[in-house]
Structure 1
């Protein structure tokens, strides 16, 4: 889910910067920022993960143990589900 992306946090946690990731990807910082702040494609997410040396799952918010949250496709509200 795009609103749960944590790309900037993953980049920081892997000891690099937006500028370094953009350079490794062969694109401008502006272009990378546009992707990060917009709706990046699967290809871009994979390229970012490769550039910072992490699995693509590191770019997404991980569900908390014991609960799951989904977004209603009609109203956009979060729905929390308790896992037992």
Structure 2
């Protein structure tokens, strides 16, 4: 099997490393989780907030983040506190 080599951050690396590095994105919102818990779809949410399916999918996959205004609108539509749509920034103290 041929090992493809790429220049990344001024280093020569293998393809597997590059794929793993690209997939290390931070999860900032929980929109997809909340929709799943409620049995709702991304298409449903897109219609309710007046955005395209592609935009909502990008929010759900954390490829892009909604503005504060849109996040509030999503929270209102799904009936949760806006904080439930966000990943916590600090671990919960026990």
TM-score norm. by structure 2 comes to 0.56
Matching residue of 1:50: 76
Matching residue of 1:65: 93
How many corresponding residue pairs? Answer: 65
Q: CA deviation at 1:61?
A: 2.7
Q: CA deviation at 1:15?
A: 2.5
Matching residue of 1:17: 41
Instruction: Find the structure with the greater CA-based Rg.
Output: 2
Distance, in Å, in 2 between the alignment partners of 1:17 and 1:3 is 19
Q: Is the 8 A contact 2:29 2:87 kept in 1?
A: yes
Show structure 1 runs of 4+ deviating over 6 A.
none
Task: Name the Cα RMSD after superposition.
Answer: 2.0
* Cα 1:34/1:10, change in 2 over 3 Å: same
TM-score norm. by structure 1 comes to 0.62
| 1:6-45 deviation digits (Å, cap 9, x = unpaired) | 1110111122111111111122211212334212211121
